[in-house]
Structure 1
């Protein structure tokens, strides 16, 4: 066992094999560690995350886990979880890779189909995408490599093989698994509780279905109920009409913590402190749903509302009638709007996004406990469009006894294109995969944020890439955290944002320290970054 640092509030426990991972996970379910709020298993590793506190040192975690390794050894074997049902998955075996799988394993296609369904599978863990279950226990003869060139789009309901695993794609997404067929069974439905049909411990049996055209699986990731409304009855507390959403505007809050084990990252605001400040300025709950805008944003007040904006932007209010017309509004200051008043948030002069809060919060449907839009998983309401009307959820006007307090920004200045922002990181969990020169280069070289950046991740560009010790070495998929610096073969890192994949297959050289996650979330394209490695307390332990 090795315990590796994964930022300041998580560690990655590396074990010998999947059986050991599942056994330790089962032991932790019976004997949880104090303060651990999330346990995320993967093929060879287990992520432990603490909330609102730093993770203990690697040595302390190893000592706490040591008494569990004996009981865990006795639990090795078939995956165990909270759910030991058996789910039958009907499959039409007409997949694009069935012939290729037949060639790879040296069996006729009919025998491949028979063996895929003859042996029961079990859910070992979930990841990659919401509801994507990694199934183990099938016929060893069906172990095949991933495709050399992944597909850019695999349809929802596709059934595939990769290595020792089988799985069902819950929604359309890129993918590199070998496709055997398709099912019309919805393995993920955000409106269902629990949303994942296949959960750790669930037994799965694939059954051949008659050839034909099954009903396509609906994409259950996106919330079916719209965030917008045009009815006046629902605007009795006021609302905001979107006149221009700019490049990107969406609803956000503090996200969905504790869902990584089913493939859902926390998500939420790019700048959580900025969101909290905007909500506090209007007298609302710190995590109330608000708007996040990555470019210009123009909204009109429907009824009387109170709004505040945070971020490095210029905010103007155009009064509907009978007043001085357009005027600038200070940032973080609550502004009372009358019906028809128009608020224009100009593009950020620094940072990646601004947050606009409204007294009472935005009335948006909650999916898995949050109203936030997750651009990777598709959870939450879709990005805003011109003409959308968002109702206010609570009373927009405060009682006179409750003051509205301006909220100024604290901490480091927001990043700007062309200027250097210093960001603290903790090396690991896979810093030992890189040469000493690469680790030095990570900290002394300036990295430019590419235009190919969004809420999922920011691509960084450096004059030289980070060199691995063993360039051809492959890493089994393992859990990752927000702020992870994942390094693909090009050597140019990708900085994971709030909507990052829960698991990844490239080594993570370092993770942004928790106190700089909001700052990293505000990196705009063109900004320059220099990383400083903190001295971690015993960042790894055997």
Structure 2
């Protein structure tokens, strides 16, 4: 076992092989101080609470773990019916030196078990003991893989829970639902589950019979029918939340800029299902906005990239934190006044809040007393843009109701933060690892000596950086999928880093050279395109490896 630094709050444990990684992951369930575990192909990423344990103390506990070397305990048994009609079935069989029929028969006969989850919610990496299954990925990934596609890559079988890009070899499809938020657990294929694939029964669907033509109502009933329809239409117009008649105590979207989302503190603790924590990108702004209006610090808010215009229905209290720009409130008669950043202000029915293009920072956070009562998924109202969980991105005309949570005492206004403008230089602290040994000494020097520019190709998944000198790798080839944290600096083959933000994939195959310290994450979320970054190596506990 080798234990590496993955961030100032995360360790990456290297196991001898996939079986040992699976055993270790299950053995560490309930270890004090561990917040979350993300198993990979030969690793387990362990995130810990620094208030409960230290990196060195936790590393000692993990290092002393003894596991059963004979078998991996299983959690449950799942049967997945498959139609073996995939586009790559013949090609995959050829790569393995067998016929398509033999590939299918051995796929059916093998004993499979879910090793870990990642890539997307409900995507399980399923492995067997049959040495046949070691298939290279496609040289050119597809931009669209249909939901339910059964595919092979490396030693794994996977089933795509939703339509997405992908480079695995498609051998069939299933009608089984891989991910259902209303199911317990939501993921059909969760780590430790035993899986048996079986041939799906062929179904013949009868042609639908032509529906009979509806009979006309008797003449004497037509006036009564028209009257009932009129009443129903008036009722629909008066129903709160419907278009044309917003609910009292709600916010209507009049104009958006680049992106407007509902966010809260996120949904940590579901990494085993392939679900990232997501949540507000700027956690400090979330707390500041909520405390200003008397909410709990983690209540749901609006997160706006760039400017927006919001219309309030009903009376309330709101505050704007995060990015800095011109803020104005226009009342129903048309009188406009300026709003102070971070200061609570009263809203009346019909008031419109205008957020100008930020002069500093990138993301506004709008807190409203009572919090937002958007739909919840896995205990959080956060919108995860990569996984498609939580409320949809808000568009013009959308209406979000305000909750009725009892207000707390309003706290003092938070001091104005020094957020960056475009072209400003920002210093960010990082820890090296876990894969800094994949890079040359000159690359490690370049990482911290060179300035990196934030490109416009950035979102909540990650910030794409551009530097004059790309980072040079000394270890080539593909890294077996392993966990990644928010703030990780992943380096694709072109040598230009990607800085992960809250909606990043949980696992990946590109090496991670370092990660931001936790206290720098909020600042990173406010970096506008054109801002420049200089990385500084922070000192943390030594002796982990």
Please indicate, yes or no, whether the TM-score normalized by the shorter chain is above 0.5.
yes
Is structure 2 residue 356 aligned with structure 1 residue 346? yes
Q: Structure 1: how far apart are the matches of 2:279 and 2:402? A: 19
Residues 297-335 of structure 1, C-alpha deviations (whole Å, 9 max, x = no match) = 1111111121110121211000112xx811110011111
Is structure 2 residue 507 aligned with structure 1 residue 507? no
Paired residues of 1:282 and 1:334 also in contact (CA < 8 A)? yes
Q: CA deviation at 1:51?
A: 2.7
1:279 counterpart (287, 290, 293): 290
2:497 counterpart (493, 499, 511): 493
Q: CA deviation at 1:407?
A: 2.3
Q: CA deviation at 1:406?
A: 4.8
Q: Structure 1: how far apart are the matches of 2:82 and 2:164? A: 19
Query: What residue is the counterpart of 2:539 in the other structure?
Result: 535
Query: What residue is the counterpart of 1:433 in the other structure?
Result: 438
1:80 counterpart (39, 62, 73): 73
Q: Structure 1: how far apart are the matches of 2:140 and 2:544? A: 34
Q: CA deviation at 1:493?
A: 0.5
Residues 473-510 of structure 1, C-alpha deviations (whole Å, 9 max, x = no match) = 32101000000000011111000000010001011100
Paired residues of 2:59 and 2:544 also in contact (CA < 8 A)? no
Q: How does 1:318-397 map to 2 (within 5 A)?
A: 318-321=330-333, 325-394=335-404
Larger radius of gyration: 2
Paired residues of 2:427 and 2:534 also in contact (CA < 8 A)? yes
Q: How does 1:48-447 map to 2 (within 5 A)?
A: 48-51=46-49, 53=51, 56-58=54-56, 60-68=57-65, 71-72=66-67, 74-77=68-71, 79-81=72-74, 83-84=75-76, 86-137=77-128, 139-210=130-201, 229-230=241-242, 235-236=247-248, 238-311=249-322, 312-321=324-333, 325-394=335-404, 404-409=410-415, 413-447=418-452
Query: What residue is the counterpart of 1:43 in the other structure?
Result: 41
Residues 346-385 of structure 1, C-alpha deviations (whole Å, 9 max, x = no match) = 1211212000111001111110110000000000011001
Q: Structure 2: how far apart are the matches of 1:113 and 1:239? A: 55
Query: What residue is the counterpart of 2:17 in the other structure?
Result: 17
Runs of 4+ more than 6 Å apart: 231-234
Query: What residue is the counterpart of 1:220 in the other structure?
Result: none
- Specify whether residues 148 and 233 from structure 1 end up closer, same or farther in structure 2 by C-alpha distance, changes over 3 A only: same
Q: Structure 2: how far apart are the matches of 1:97 and 1:162? A: 11
Q: CA deviation at 1:149?
A: 1.3
Q: SS state of the match for residue 172, structure 2?
A: strand
Q: Structure 2: how far apart are the matches of 1:285 and 1:62? A: 34
Is structure 2 residue 483 aligned with structure 1 residue 483? no
Deviates more, 1:451-460 or 1:312-321: 312-321
Residues 74-107 of structure 1, C-alpha deviations (whole Å, 9 max, x = no match) = 2443x435x22x2111111111100101211121
Q: Structure 2: how far apart are the matches of 1:283 and 1:182? A: 50
Q: SS state of the match for residue 112, structure 1?
A: helix
Q: Structure 2: how far apart are the matches of 1:17 and 1:120? A: 18
Q: Structure 2: how far apart are the matches of 1:338 and 1:65? A: 56
Query: What residue is the counterpart of 2:458 in the other structure?
Result: 453
Paired residues of 1:333 and 1:405 also in contact (CA < 8 A)? no
- Specify whether residues 230 and 88 from structure 1 end up closer, same or farther in structure 2 by C-alpha distance, changes over 3 A only: same
TM-score (norm. length: structure 1): 0.90
Q: CA deviation at 1:143?
A: 1.9
Q: Structure 2: how far apart are the matches of 1:54 and 1:524? A: 35
Q: SS state of the match for residue 456, structure 2?
A: strand
Query: What residue is the counterpart of 1:27 in the other structure?
Result: 27
Q: CA deviation at 1:405?
A: 4.2
Q: SS state of the match for residue 299, structure 1?
A: strand
Paired residues of 2:33 and 2:52 also in contact (CA < 8 A)? no
Q: Structure 1: how far apart are the matches of 2:387 and 2:449? A: 35
Paired residues of 1:282 and 1:358 also in contact (CA < 8 A)? yes
Residues 446-482 of structure 1, C-alpha deviations (whole Å, 9 max, x = no match) = 0001111000001000000111122x23210100000
Q: CA deviation at 1:114?
A: 1.2
Structure 2 residues without counterparts, runs of 5 or longer: 206-239
Q: CA deviation at 1:233?
A: 9.8
Backbone CA RMSD of aligned residues: 2.0
Paired residues of 1:20 and 1:76 also in contact (CA < 8 A)? no
- Specify whether residues 239 and 539 from structure 1 end up closer, same or farther in structure 2 by C-alpha distance, changes over 3 A only: farther
Query: What residue is the counterpart of 1:217 in the other structure?
Result: none
Query: What residue is the counterpart of 1:222 in the other structure?
Result: none
- Specify whether residues 260 and 309 from structure 1 end up closer, same or farther in structure 2 by C-alpha distance, changes over 3 A only: same
Structure 1 residues without counterparts, runs of 5 or longer: 215-227
Q: Structure 2: how far apart are the matches of 1:159 and 1:42? A: 20
Q: Structure 2: how far apart are the matches of 1:137 and 1:168? A: 15
